Structure 1
Amino acid sequence: MSPSTPRRGGRRERPAVTIVSPHYDDAPLSLGQSLLDGALSRCRVRVEVVFGRSNFTRWFHPTRGRAVPVTAWRRSEEALAQASFGYRVGTAPWEEIVLRTGQLDADQLLDADAELDEQLVGDLAAWMRRLRGSGAVVLVPAGIGDHLDHRLVAEAGRRLAAEHADRIGFYEDRPYASLVGADVVADQVRALRPDLVPVDVSGPVGERLHRLLRRCYPSQVDELFVGAMDADRASGARERVWFADGEVPSWLQLGASP
């Protein structure tokens, strides 16, 4: 029996999982089907939003003066998602990149060669180390698509996995992973750690998931998101999490008993 599934009163408790979400929407976008009826639906899930100060919407160019009301709006969207997908949520105080820089140019936001802020990576790794100390499995974005905020979190997760791979997994960031080939996804994930292996944590993603995402996140779901959703349904895509070889929790695999 896994150490994170102790028996209490003769019953086995549901395993604890913490999903590290760069922004308010990333956890259900990337792992929503699993939360609804896959492996994560059998777990006690907490989502920790890293960049809790936000001012991005698809409707207008963000400014620092709009950060407070937009952050409140994004939190209200996340509250609806929390109720819809069945997880608890916490937020950290860091600013997302469009607040830190005022930059909206996609070529810069998604620049794979942009240098990472070493101080911020170190702060994120220290914060995530405390999350891991709770005993939960910690799922971290793999940085697919090269969004700078995702890359920062992925690098912090890579450092934790280098210290000790137990209970650290990497999930495929959607919508980005939906729009590139499986070989690109595998290459980007294994750039974090060569021995990572994938495990399906959901069945094929479906229309119910995508209806919920559109309802929960109206400020974010634009043509890119819709195109990614269409591509996932057409291909029968399944959500996956990558662990170091030999470190995949048996209860996280689809069909296993928690």
Structure 2
Amino acid sequence: MSERARQRRDEGGPEHVFFSPHPDDVALGAYASLLGVPRGIVPTLVTVFSQSCWEFELPVDPSRALQVSSLRMGEDRRFARAHGADLVHLGFRDTSLRAPPGGAPEPEAALAALATRLRLALEEVLACVSPEAVCYVPLGISSHVDHLLVRDAVRALRGDRGVVYYDDLPYSAHPPEDEIVDYAWALGLSPRCLDVTALWPAKLRGLSFYASQLEPLTLPAVEAHARRLGAGRGLCERVWTVAP
């Protein structure tokens, strides 16, 4: 454990490490958890796939990768700074650069090699925090390969100890609720809803840091999911942990 990690643990409890496959994923799906980190503990935000050329139009233009990546990393830095979080960019290329939409699928061998590199990078991150650190990862309901790679790497490195899964948004807004629950139960997870009714204006401000990454339907989908979870009593985010 690093001296910095030891100091954090001794001062206020275990570290909280948020693994975000792309810039904006934590703001979308784990905002209440981020704001809920106990005072005195500085959360760490780890953005894994921070290189991209995705601009919500097809075909993608790989020559735009530098401009797009720079813009999104800048948004990520401003979000982290505004929320008092340490930020780590791991610099992996996302699917728009590895296997552009409309092209050939990513070869299995390339995915396996990527999974190995990613696991080594995340192992280095986790070596800098205590074994008691709480790690937040996407649930993977979207089946987005980048989300699954991050989830599975952390799960392999940590097992079920201290791992919290957050709903992938806006993807989780679309499947039926029972489909999401069945998917999570197959992973041995049970849900916990976090009331974000009072936090909703703050969450919208947090998401505004990622203006270049929000499609017109993103915020309505996120709100619809929050209202569905709130079941008429407000707005909620949901996390999942190992079922008792």
In the superposition, the TM-score normalised over structure 1's length comes to 0.75
Which residue is 1:101 aligned to?
Answer: 99
Q: Tell me if 1:153 matches 2:153.
A: no
Which residue is 1:182 aligned to?
Answer: 177
1:59 offset after TM fit, Å?
A: 6.3
1:232 offset after TM fit, Å?
A: 3.3
Identity score, percent:
27
Q: Tell me if 1:80 matches 2:73.
A: no
Which residue is 1:171 aligned to?
Answer: 166
Which residue is 1:130 aligned to?
Answer: 124
Q: Which range moves more in the overlay, 73-82 or 176-185?
A: 176-185
Q: Which range moves more in the overlay, 46-55 or 126-135?
A: 126-135
Report the Cα distance in structure 2 between the residues aligned to 1:228 and 1:41, rounded to whole angstroms.
29
Q: Deviations over 1:217-242 (max 9, x none)?
A: 11111133123133035333422322
Check the 8 A contact 2:140/2:148 in 1, yes or no: yes
Relative to structure 1, the CA distance from residue 230 to residue 7 in structure 2 (aligned partners, 3 Å threshold; closer, same or farther) is closer
SS at match of 2:137: strand
Which residue is 2:65 aligned to?
Answer: 67
SS at match of 2:43: strand
User: Which of 200, 203, 207 pairs up with 1:206?
Assistant: 200
Which residue is 1:255 aligned to?
Answer: none
SS at match of 2:55: coil
1:6 offset after TM fit, Å?
A: 4.6
Which residue is 1:47 aligned to?
Answer: 45
Report the Cα distance in structure 1 between the residues aligned to 2:7 and 2:170, rounded to whole angstroms.
30
1:176 offset after TM fit, Å?
A: 1.2
Q: Which range moves more in the overlay, 63-72 or 84-93?
A: 84-93
Q: Which range moves more in the overlay, 96-105 or 232-241?
A: 232-241
Relative to structure 1, the CA distance from residue 238 to residue 47 in structure 2 (aligned partners, 3 Å threshold; closer, same or farther) is same
Report the Cα distance in structure 2 between the residues aligned to 1:245 and 1:143, rounded to whole angstroms.
17
Report the Cα distance in structure 1 between the residues aligned to 2:154 and 2:176, rounded to whole angstroms.
23
Report how many aligned residue pairs link the two structures. 227
Check the 8 A contact 1:179/1:231 in 2, yes or no: no
Structure 1 stretches (4+) deviating beyond 6 angstroms? none
Q: 5+ residue gaps in structure 1?
A: 247-258
1:123 offset after TM fit, Å?
A: 2.3
Relative to structure 1, the CA distance from residue 211 to residue 119 in structure 2 (aligned partners, 3 Å threshold; closer, same or farther) is same
Relative to structure 1, the CA distance from residue 199 to residue 55 in structure 2 (aligned partners, 3 Å threshold; closer, same or farther) is same
Report the Cα distance in structure 1 between the residues aligned to 2:48 and 2:10, rounded to whole angstroms.
32
Check the 8 A contact 2:94/2:146 in 1, yes or no: yes
Report the Cα distance in structure 2 between the residues aligned to 1:87 and 1:48, rounded to whole angstroms.
10
Q: Tell me if 1:33 matches 2:32.
A: yes
CA RMSD of aligned residues (A): 2.9
Report the Cα distance in structure 1 between the residues aligned to 2:193 and 2:13, rounded to whole angstroms.
19
Q: Tell me if 1:218 matches 2:218.
A: no
1:130 offset after TM fit, Å?
A: 2.8
Report the Cα distance in structure 2 between the residues aligned to 1:151 and 1:187, rounded to whole angstroms.
17
1:79 offset after TM fit, Å?
A: 1.8
Report the Cα distance in structure 2 between the residues aligned to 1:130 and 1:222, rounded to whole angstroms.
34
Report the Cα distance in structure 2 between the residues aligned to 1:172 and 1:217, rounded to whole angstroms.
18
Letter in 2 for 1:88: D
